[in-house]
Amino acid sequence: MESIGISTVIIAMQAFQNRIEAMSVARLLLTHHLMGKPLGDPFDHAEHMRVVRAALSLLENAESVGTTRFT
């Protein structure tokens, strides 16, 4: 996707950090949430928005490809 000009951010749980970084993804946002719930618990709209805003901020402000941030 990045090679054709579409910027991406991967949102994943911290337990997978090493595996995902080994894939050389462009931008990685790690959360403390459980597997299957990278944005948080169902119906926790405030937390969902916080994670999505963090991902958009990473997309907008990452200084280089391969940037990793934690929420």
Contacts by 44-52 with C-beta closer than 8 Å and gap 24+?
Answer: 51/11
pLDDT one-digit tens code per residue, 9-68: 999 999 999 999 999 999 999 999 999 999 999 999 999 999 999 999 999 999 888 999
Torsion angle (degrees, nearest 10) of CA 12, 14, 20, 22: 170
How many structural domains is the chain composed of?
1
Determine the pLDDT at residue 15. Answer: 93
Q: Is 15 exposed, middle or buried (0-12, 13-18, 19+ CB in 10 A)?
A: exposed
> Residue 41: which domain range?
2-70
Name the phi and psi angles at 70, rounded to 5.
Answer: -115, 145
Q: Whole-model pTM?
A: 0.90
In the prediction, which pLDDT does 30 show?
97
